Amino acid sequence: MKDKIRILLADDHTVVRHGFKMILGAHPDMEIVGEAGNGREAVELAERLEPDVVVMDVAMPELNGIEATRRLAGSTPRTRVLALSMHKDSVYVREILRAGARGYLLKDAPANDLLTAVRAVARGEGYLSPGVSDAVLNDYRRHVTDSIDLLSTREREVLQMIAEGKTNKEIAGVLNLSIYTVDAHRGRIMEKLNLHSVNELVRFAVRKGLVD
């Protein structure tokens, strides 16, 4: 039989920890190696025990789960954090994922979700409670703008042709524009993408799959 998933439970409510212990401990592929009542204790125990997974409450006294996760990412990178919260708010999710958590589970999730989440995180995969997926996707769309989205359709056309090695005159001919207009497009593209040379433009275009 393969090694058990070694789990550290970090939550300031004893009842919550006890409940999780009952659920997780009942499965032969899991083992509870420690419990912590606050973030500071969670960090100290994780550094000592090096569990596979820390089930980490986001809101804890002394040191919150976000800060504790950030510290663990630096001190015990092999330990993976599954964040636990009552909040569906994308701000919480974003902050703890940015701190290094691999998963985010809502406290009112069914027991099966807890098991699925722990196993997924232990394998190195991500896990998000279905209840927070929409919030995270909307937040992602709001905050992460791909720089290429800043360009208009025409600017993308011009960028591709520059990357293909065409001159302003050739681009003007293909797009039926004046050379001055092409030059203005080129200037705007560089400004929007914060690039300063044709070489940088070419590398950007290759990275974005506009040219081979």
pLDDT at 2 over 70: no
Condensed to tens digits (0 to 9), the pLDDT of residues 84-131 reads 999 888 778 888 888 999 999 999 999 999 999 999 999 999 999 988
Q: What is the pLDDT of residue 98?
A: 87
Condensed to tens digits (0 to 9), the pLDDT of residues 146-176 reads 778 788 889 989 999 999 999 999 999 999 9
Which one, of 90, 94, 40, lies nearest residue 62 by Cα? 40
Q: What is the pLDDT of residue 139?
A: 72
Domains and CATH numbers, the chain: 5-143 (3.40.50.2300), 147-207 (1.10.10.10)
φ and ψ at 45, to 5 degrees? Answer: -65, -40
pLDDT at 1 over 60: no
Distance between terminal CA atoms of the chain?
47
- Mean residue pLDDT across the chain: 91
